[in-house]
A and B are shown apart, each in its own frame.
Chain A
Amino acid sequence: MIYKKEANFPYPVLTNSSMSYTESEFKLDIDLEENINMYRFEIKHVITSSFLSYLLDIGKAKLILILQSKDSKFYSLENGQSYVEIPKSRISLSSRTSLQLHLQSTQEISFRDNHDLNDFYTSFKNEIIVPKHSILGFSNIVLFDGSSTNPLELFEKKLDESLKSDIKIELGSETIIIHYRNSEFQFGSMPKSHALNNTYVYMGLRAALQEFIGKYSDEGEDTVEISQINPPSNMLDFKLYQLMTKKMIKDLNLQVLDQVIYLISDRIIEKHATAVKELATNGS
């Protein structure tokens, strides 16, 4: 699993944002090449810590490439191995694919000689013993976004006269689809029709976020900690995830649902109210 948690390790871990190392950088860059049968992922990485680089050189640590698309794949890289080839029959790049490098210990490691740590650790780093198979650092995430027909669009409107209700909200794979039985319900002929539809948009967002909670909360829990989950592979969920991340939303649960909608939806209710008010004023 691609890992993006910041803290929670009982020992210092090298990441691009960790404070434990004086110079903390673990950069990953991937070039993609392909032929008819294969994808080749060319791996370039930078690790700032000479302590960790040395562990890698002498085999006390190894790099693992993690690739997540429809499933997770783990590739233990040999020393100096600069690419991984994967048959196209085993990976789909038309859906979202994310990659990350992990640095993992192959045996117990003492941090006594780790001079790259910041001063905070000086007095007790000789007591830090990291067990075998532990993560010593992880890189940034490289994304291949795949094809998406509606990269930004969150909503789609559709007309379906055979609908058994006036409107119906459907969560598609990339968008929230609002089906209308009657084109009148879209207020198409009115000024500000966009804002007048905002109540439906609200309902759509509510439905989508509720499903989001169901899908991404841990078993038995009803809150999703947005910063702790992986970027969803489902496009619609990914768009919602991006919106929430941008607005720095920490938790999503039923109690804060309306608040979250308020934060991510750019004042849709206010705009709706203004549009109605304007109509009333102009109409009278």
Chain B
Amino acid sequence: MEVKVRLLKNGYDKSDEFYEDFKENRTLNNDEYFTEETVSFPSNVPFPIYMGKGNEEQRKEQFLEAFKVLSENYISSERDIHLDEKAWHSFLVTHLREYMIEKYPIILENQKEFSNIVTKKFDWENYIYKCVLATEYVEDASSNSQEKLRYYNLIVDNLDLYNYIIKYEVFRNGDFLLKILNVVDELGISSIMKAKIKDRPELGKDERYGRRVIFELNKAYPVVMTPMLELEDLKEAVLKELGNYYDVSHIIRYL
């Protein structure tokens, strides 16, 4: 169901009073918090907005649930709305308050958790942002529901790589994301890409093969126009970069 969302005034995310009023359910009717502006959200169906806790299985399930709800109810809206931080924050506090409290009761106990779950900065570390982009990309790529499901599963199975891809503007691109996921899938290197690089302290504390490959591809652009490469060429480019850190001979043998 389409809903009108009143937009919050700037500064809400930093205000202690705003949090107190959210807890006591005094936000909604308080004009102090809102501008005159409204936007329409195409739906008010709730979906998981935070996957920062729980085991891997639970998190995957919630991602898939979010993908499903977003793709069916939200993603057809204008991007000015569904990729806008303030629109989402306004929507959450005015329309999903009860859902959030039930699902994430900790937001009532702790203001830090509130800002981490509800009014989190809207970038690649925000779960709604991640899910909105993922659904845009997958829904645009295919109309076949089996294929879409395959992509959604590939994303949740390669989350670290996904995060790293959408972190960089040059790779934050639907075609490229799906191509990389296909490369990882076809080469069967998902677990390698996730693994930490050991014995290379100069690379940093939490360096992983997948992140390193993306980093190197980024550096090589535009001499190697990675985002536009065909699947087979991209496969080669990925193996070449991975080869700098990992013995890829056994992968190549199976090609």
Say yes or no for B182: interface residue by CB 8 A criterion.
no
Say yes or no for B141: interface residue by CB 8 A criterion.
no
Give CA–CA (A9, B223) in the complex, Å: 7
CB contacts under 8 Å to A, within B72-96, are 75-80, 82-84
Chain B residues whose CB sits within 8 angstroms of the CB of A9 once the complex forms? 223
Once the chains bind, are A1 and B80 in contact (CB under 8 Å)?
A: no
Say yes or no for A284: interface residue by CB 8 A criterion.
no
Once the chains bind, are A89 and B78 in contact (CB under 8 Å)?
A: yes
A contact face: mostly helix, strand, loop, or mixed: loop
Once the chains bind, are B173 and A135 in contact (CB under 8 Å)?
A: no
Say yes or no for A31: interface residue by CB 8 A criterion.
no
Contact of A135 among B75, B82, B166, B225 (CB under 8 A): B225
Q: Output the residue of B11, B76, B83, B215 with the most chain A CB within 10 A.
A: B83
Question: From B202, which residue of chain A is reached at the shortest CB distance?
Answer: A220
Give CA–CA (A233, B172) in the complex, Å: 14
Question: From B204, which residue of chain A is reached at the shortest CB distance?
Answer: A220
Once the chains bind, are B175 and A92 in contact (CB under 8 Å)?
A: no
Once the chains bind, are B227 and A72 in contact (CB under 8 Å)?
A: yes
Give CA–CA (A141, B215) in the complex, Å: 25
User: How close is B178's CB to chain A, nearest CB, in angstroms?
Assistant: 13
Say yes or no for A157: interface residue by CB 8 A criterion.
no
Say yes or no for A133: interface residue by CB 8 A criterion.
yes
Q: B11-29 vs A: 1/0 string, CB under 8 Å?
A: 1001011000000000000
Given contacts A162-B16, A220-B204, are A72 and B80 in contact (CB under 8 A)? no
Contact of B169 among A1, A92, A102 (CB under 8 A): A1
Chain B residues whose CB sits within 8 angstroms of the CB of A1 once the complex forms? 169-170, 221-222, 227
Given contacts A74-B175, A92-B84, A172-B10, are A3 and B222 in contact (CB under 8 A)? yes
Once the chains bind, are B228 and A89 in contact (CB under 8 Å)?
A: no
CB contacts under 8 Å to B, within A88-142, are 88-94, 102, 104, 133-135
Interface size on B, residues (CB 8 A): 38
User: How close is A228's CB to chain B, nearest CB, in angstroms?
Assistant: 12
CB contacts under 8 Å to B, within A169-224, are 170, 172, 218-220
Once the chains bind, are A74 and B227 in contact (CB under 8 Å)?
A: yes
Chain A residues whose CB sits within 8 angstroms of the CB of B229 once the complex forms? 133
Chain A residues whose CB sits within 8 angstroms of the CB of B169 once the complex forms? 1, 68, 71-72, 230, 233
Chain B residues whose CB sits within 8 angstroms of the CB of A70 once the complex forms? 79, 83, 172
Once the chains bind, are B223 and A73 in contact (CB under 8 Å)?
A: no
Chain B residues whose CB sits within 8 angstroms of the CB of A73 once the complex forms? 173-174
Having A3-B222, A93-B80, A134-B223, one finds 20 other A-B pairs with CB under 8 Å, namely A1-B221, A1-B222, A9-B223, A64-B228, A68-B169, A72-B170, A74-B227, A76-B228, A88-B78, A88-B80, A89-B75, A90-B136, A91-B79, A92-B83, A94-B80, A94-B84, A133-B233, A162-B17, A172-B10, A220-B203
Please list the residues of chain B having a beta carbon within 8 angstroms of any beta carbon in chain A: 10-11, 14, 16-17, 75-80, 82-84, 133, 136, 140, 166, 169-175, 203-204, 215, 219, 221-225, 227-229, 233
